[in-house]
């Protein structure tokens, strides 16, 4: 059997930026500073694919020619097809995203949900390493992404950020973009997170919550305000988890 590739490129497509970097898969660390380009206002598959290609090109000298490439998208991905688009251009729905990126890149890549990629990265290299039970990773950002991992194995496309709570889509109440938009205090926002995480723990009885997304850098401002039976910790890889997980999954 050929030795497993230990270097891959990860590209993470978010609501505000598209970020990429080469990843050392032995350590789960970036081999070069990441490149971040703003997500185009009209985030159509063609516009996004052109930027993904630009990011890949910029790292051509840092990677072997045939290094695997993993790309994330903030939507459900089934067999390379994007099925939902809550916070990106609606033309992504039913788009064969994996083929679109592979064509733009000139070689096959892997397409995966952004939260799933972050969950895999935290399970392999970060805050959920060596967990034998159920881990729920949530990314708090433009929306709420959720990854379910049982004994390190991903159950993909959980979409529990859209859990209906009090008649509302949870991410429209508790995402960190909503904290910013409504200028909520940490305490007020934590009240919404409390409702969200206690609903999740009463339905799924996880062993651990891991909280990712950019706001996890400030976890000391809100995690101590939550009262849950489940331990809850900040992501170790923070905003790089999507890049690292996409690279790791592409190399599998
Ligand atoms: C999408 C998910 C995504 C999450 C975080 C949600 O609106 O439905 O697929 O993982 O946002 O980006």
DSSP codes, 56-93: HHHTGGGS-TT--EEEEESS-EETTEE---SSS-GGGT
Walk along the chain (252 residues) and give the pLDDT tens digit of each residue: 455 559 999 999 998 899 999 999 999 999 999 999 999 999 999 999 999 999 999 999 999 989 999 999 999 999 999 999 999 999 999 999 999 999 999 999 999 999 999 999 999 999 999 999 999 999 999 999 999 999 999 999 999 999 999 999 999 999 999 999 999 999 999 999 999 999 999 999 999 999 999 999 999 999 999 999 999 999 999 889 999 999 999 999
Q: What is the pTM (predicted TM-score) of this model?
A: 0.96
User: What are the distances in angstroms from CA 242 to CA 30, 53, 112, 118?
Assistant: 12, 17, 10, 4
**Centroid of ligand 1 to alpha carbon of 143 (angstroms):** 6
202 within 8 A of 190, measured Cβ to Cβ? no
Enumerate residues 6+ apart whose C-beta is below 8 A from 199: 163, 165, 170
**Centroid of ligand 1 to alpha carbon of 15 (angstroms):** 10
Kindly list the domain boundaries of the chain, sorted by start residue.
Answer: 3-116+241-251, 130-235
- How high is the pLDDT of residue 3? 54
**Centroid of ligand 1 to alpha carbon of 212 (angstroms):** 13
Atom of ligand 1 nearest to the CA of 14: 12
71 within 8 A of 109, measured Cβ to Cβ? yes
Fold agreement between 3-116+241-251 and 130-235: yes
Closest-CA residue, ligand 1 atom 10, reads 145
19 within 8 A of 1, measured Cβ to Cβ? no
Give the count of beta carbons closer than 10 Å to the beta carbon of residue 24.
14
- How high is the pLDDT of residue 238? 85
Q: Which CATH superfamily is domain 130-235 in?
A: ATPase, nucleotide binding domain (3.30.420.40)
CA distance 11 to 21: 7
165 within 8 A of 199, measured Cβ to Cβ? yes
Atom of ligand 1 nearest to the CA of 146: 10
Closest CA to 127 of 245, 238, 226, 252: 238
Give the count of beta carbons closer than 10 Å to the beta carbon of residue 155.
12
In angstroms, how far is CA 12 from the centroid of its own chain? 7
**Centroid of ligand 1 to alpha carbon of 86 (angstroms):** 7
Which residue among 16, 71, 114, 139 is best mutated to probe the pocket of ligand 1, counting the most ligand atoms within 8 A of its Cβ? Answer: 114
Residues with C-beta less than 6 Å from any ligand 1 atom: 74-76, 84, 86-87, 113-115, 139, 141, 143, 145, 159, 161, 171
Q: Where are the strands (E) in the chain, listed by range? A: 7-13, 17-24, 29-30, 35-38, 69-73, 77-78, 81-82, 110-113, 134-140, 144-150, 153-155, 164-165, 168-169, 208-212, 232-234
- The class that CATH gives domain 3-116+241-251 is alpha beta
**Centroid of ligand 1 to alpha carbon of 17 (angstroms):** 14
Closest-CA residue, ligand 1 atom 9, reads 75
140 within 8 A of 174, measured Cβ to Cβ? yes
**Centroid of ligand 1 to alpha carbon of 160 (angstroms):** 9
Closest-CA residue, ligand 1 atom 5, reads 145
CA distance 8 to 66: 9
Closest-CA residue, ligand 1 atom 4, reads 145
**Centroid of ligand 1 to alpha carbon of 101 (angstroms):** 19
């Amino acid at each position: 059997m050929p030795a497993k590739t230990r270097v891959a490129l990860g590209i993470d497509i978010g609501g505000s930026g598209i970020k990429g970097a080469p990843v050392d898969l032995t350590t789960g660390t970036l081999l070069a500073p990441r490149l971040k380009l703003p997500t185009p206002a009209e985030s159509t598959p063609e516009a996004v694919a052109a930027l993904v290609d630009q990011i890949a090109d910029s790292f051509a000298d840092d990677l072997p020619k045939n290094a695997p490439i993993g790309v994330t998208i903030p939507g459900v991905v089934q067999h390379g097809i994007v099925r939902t688009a809550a916070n990106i251009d609606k033309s992504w729905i039913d788009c064969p995203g994996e083929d679109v990126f592979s064509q733009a890149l000139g070689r096959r890549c892997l397409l995966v949900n952004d939260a799933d990629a972050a969950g895999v990265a935290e399970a392999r290299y970060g805050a959920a390493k060596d967990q034998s039970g159920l881990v729920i990773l949530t990314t708090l950002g433009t929306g709420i992404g959720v990854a379910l991992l049982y004994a390190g194995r991903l159950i993909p496309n959980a979409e529990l950020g859209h859990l209906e709570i009090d008649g509302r889509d949870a991410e429209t109440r508790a995402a960190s973009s909503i904290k910013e938009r409504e200028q909520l205090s940490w305490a007020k926002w934590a009240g919404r997170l409390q409702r969200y995480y206690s609903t999740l723990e009463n339905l799924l009885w996880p062993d651990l919550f891991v909280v990712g997304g950019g706001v996890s850098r400030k976890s000391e401002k809100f995690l101590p305000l939550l009262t849950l039976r489940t331990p809850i910790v900040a992501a170790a890889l923070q905003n790089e988890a999507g890049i690292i997980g996409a690279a790791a999954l592409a190399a599998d």
